[in-house]
Chains A and B, each alone.
Chain A
Amino acid sequence: MLPPVFGVLFDGLAYGMLLFVLSVGLSVTLGLMNFVNLAHCAFAMLGGYVTVTLMHDFNWPFLATLPAAFVAAAAASVVLERILYRHLYRSSDLDQVLLTIGIAFISVAVAAYIFGTLQQPIETPAFLRGAVGVMGLAFGKYRLFLIAVALIVTFALVAALDYTRFGAQVRAAVDNQRMARGLGIDVDRTFAVTFALGSGLAGLGGALAIDIVGLDPNFAFTYLVYVLIIVSVGGLGSIAGSFAAACLIGVSDIAGKYYAPELGAFMIYLVMVLVLMWRPAGLFGKR
């Protein structure tokens, strides 16, 4: 018989994996361009609502909506990047914060207008419902699926970064932008593509999140805080950092809720402030 702590750990890791998929895009784009995109979770929310719409109005199966969520969020990010973001690559942090908060506000209002303020439930496919019993503990099938998807994404990202030419360009630009430009790497284009991929992943995360945490118009801000914490704790531009930080935050949050509910979100904020004071660039960050 496994003690309940393993169940908590499992749930925490699954939650962490979800947060990882949501955060990794922001971490890489921040490390690449230092562009503070607080609208990141608005893309996640878009992915979620795409899934809801495709399933409810067009009867698409759940799994098929996942790539759609990815593509929709990536496409939206390309449009926004062309029209707005690219003018602000060299702007102050404040300007970037304000622009992207503005976009997030608009997305929340639009979501509320179209879908209403209530949570949107979806029916996950039958094979993902229920749990698998292992040594006396029930491991939710959906959570297993989540972990599997996150691991696939991680391997794909690491493979792309380490083994493709594009990946090498991304790593070079994250490491030293000026040098990369000097070598002839089109950093702006690299950023645009990375940004699209990162936002697409956020969209995917949003779609996956519906069954775990629910989807409502406030998603864009509620999870922004978690994502920002993971990105700053993990270190900008580091996939390993985001992975580690997401696991840390995911497990802390679930364990906290289970063992010490009076502390609430307190612990996470405290952990973040302490980590940042110790390592301002994050656990795996560079500068």
Chain B
Amino acid sequence: MSISASVTPQQYLQRQGRWHPLEIVFWLATLTPYVLFPDYLSLASQIAVAALFALSLDLILGYAGVVSLGHAAFFGIGAYTAGIFSKFVWGDVFSGLIVAGLLAALVGWASSFIVARFRHLTLIMITLGLGLLLAEAANRAHWLTGGSDGLQGIAIWPIFGVFNFDLYGKTAYAYSLAVLFVMFLAARRLVNSPFGLALRGIRENFTRMPAIGAESRAHIRTVYTIAAGMAGIAGAVIAQTTQTVALESIGFQRSADVLVMLVLGGAGRLYGGLIGSIIFMVARDQLSGVAPQYWYFWIGVLLITVVMILPNGILGGLSVLWSRWRKP
């Protein structure tokens, strides 16, 4: 397979990082709910939050290969922080967002020292254990978190002093979508940076990394901290837009759900988490009339199908179809 002389290696790599037209279509399409589904803006807002959460998990799982069963811990920390911040400091959304993200990133950074040292089952168990620990702590700390009753007394100010969080969700969706987009841009930049390449190296062959002089553990710590901060921001947004924080936001179920969303869409592709969360949340909303245990039956079937047939999720399957279609 020969390469034309006009493309230098640098230009080739530049092309990898360029925006694909489909991406622009996708982001424009995210504005359509205002026109097409005006009654579903609250759901759209929740989907945007779930997408951001899944994106943060993609950074550690899809790019660095860290399997975490406790990522909801950071989501919950962000949610509770934003809620408590609005209760005791003030209700400005932006400062609440930043404080929540920073605190979640700090806890992520602290736990990254443990997480980066382990692999395989031990790593899965430690992430699970840390997640369960934090959830249990949140449960016990009634006085701070409201325990199983949820956090009460959240008071959010209108954005810029003007836009109220109305019942129709118009402001909520605009806010969550904006936060998602900004975070997405940051994630995209990270993935296309030398650091992003190093993460892919860790995922592709962990053994080879030290053999090329790479400090894999330091890289994992960095991305884990960033992902924790991002998850915290997602949690903050849900706390601010719905003005509630429930214990479920920090529990195992949430960690498992986001894992399913990411894997469904396809990990390691940035858009996988976004697509997966849209499908998951819409399906759950439509089927929520039926009893909850039947929902989990289909999730189970879905997981088995994805693992056996579509190992790279929906986006992976689509990309295989696309490359088959192009090479007749």
- Chain A residues engaging chain B, CB cutoff 8 angstroms: 30, 34, 36, 84, 87-88, 91, 93-95, 97-99, 101-110, 112-113, 117, 217, 225, 228-229, 232, 236, 262-266, 269-270, 272-273, 276-277, 280-281
Contact = CB atoms under 8 A, between A and B. Distances in A.
B133 A102 contact: no
A173 B300 CA distance: 31
A30 B69 CA distance: 18
Given A84-B308, A94-B61, A113-B293, A269 B132 contact: yes
Interface stretch (B15-23, B117-125, B217-225): B117-125
Given A269-B129, A269-B132, A273-B129, 13 more contacts: A30-B121, A84-B304, A94-B67, A98-B307, A106-B301, A109-B296, A225-B128, A228-B128, A263-B140, A273-B133, A276-B126, A277-B117, A280-B117
* Interface SS majority for chain A: helix
B130 interface: yes
Given A30-B121, A34-B121, A264-B136, A272 B293 contact: no
B308 A99 contact: yes
A113 B293 CA distance: 8
B122 A105 contact: no
Contact of B133 (A34, A110, A232, A270): A270
Contacts of B304: 84, 99, 102-103, 106
B107 to A, nearest CB: 14
Which one of B117, B118, B259, B296 has the greatest number of beta carbons of chain A within 10 Å? B296
B302 interface: yes
A108 B124 contact: no
B176 to A, nearest CB: 28
A225 B132 contact: yes
Contact of B124 (A97, A106, A266, A269): A97
A273 B297 CA distance: 31
A82 to B, nearest CB: 14
Contact of B299 (A105, A112, A263, A270): A105
Given A266-B136, A273-B130, A88 B121 contact: no
Nearest to B137: A266
Q: Which 4 A-B pairs have the closest CB atoms?
A: A102-B303, A105-B300, A109-B297, A106-B300
A269 B122 contact: no
B293 A117 contact: yes
A277 B114 contact: yes
11 contacts: A98-B259, A99-B303, A102-B301, A106-B300, A229-B129, A232-B121, A264-B139, A269-B136, A270-B133, A273-B114, A277-B126
Contacts of B311: 95
B48 interface: no
B120 A93 contact: yes
* Interface SS majority for chain B: helix
A208 B220 CA distance: 43
A198 B306 CA distance: 27
A103 B300 contact: yes
B297 A105 contact: yes
B126 to A, nearest CB: 6
A108 B296 contact: yes
A109 B294 contact: yes
B129 A276 contact: yes
Contacts of B263: 94, 98
A276 B129 CA distance: 10
A97 B67 contact: yes
Interface in B238-267: 256, 259, 263
Interface string B292-328: 0110110111111011100100000000000000000
Contacts of A105: 296-297, 299-300, 303
A136 B157 CA distance: 64
B306 A98 contact: yes
B57 to A, nearest CB: 12
A93 B124 contact: yes
B257 to A, nearest CB: 11
Nearest to B123: A93
Interface in B151-195: none
B118 to A, nearest CB: 6
Given A99-B304, A109-B294, A266 B140 contact: yes
A23 to B, nearest CB: 13
A151 B197 CA distance: 53
A98 B303 contact: yes
Contact of A95 (B124, B125, B307): B307
B309 to A, nearest CB: 11
A265 B122 CA distance: 20
